[in-house]
Amino acid sequence: FQELAKELKVHLILGFLEADDARTHNTAVLIRPDGTIAGKYRKTHFAQGYRNGQNPGDNRPATCAARSIPSSVLANTRSAS
């Protein structure tokens, strides 16, 4: 995905389940248009009843300096269609 962001010259935000030391996290990564990783965010607050074996993170959301939009906000938006 880093190569794709670089090729298209766009920011990408990817959400995925991440395993770390026998724990699972709901993680989002923000990739810059140059293909570098701006930051990683492990969701710290889950919707009631949604946790489903995932562990809360302890970090702050990554932000994009060009837009100053927290990746956690974008990662949680849903299509209206």
Segment 4-30 mean pLDDT: 86
Res. 69: pLDDT tops 60: no
Segment 63-81 mean pLDDT: 48
Q: pLDDT value at position 43? A: 75
Distance separating alpha carbons of residues 70 and 81, to the nearest angstrom = 23
Residue 43: strand, helix, or coil: coil
Is residue 81 a part of any domain in this protein? no
- Average pLDDT for the chain: 71
Is residue 80 a part of any domain in this protein? no
- Residue 5 CB contacts under 8 Å (≥ 6 apart), including other chains: 11, 12, 31, 32, 33, 34, 35
* pTM across the whole model: 0.59
Is residue 43 a part of any domain in this protein? yes
Q: pLDDT value at position 80? A: 42
Residue 8: strand, helix, or coil: helix
Q: pLDDT value at position 7? A: 96
Question: How many folded domains does the chain comprise?
Answer: 1
Q: Give the domain extent around 69.
A: 2-75
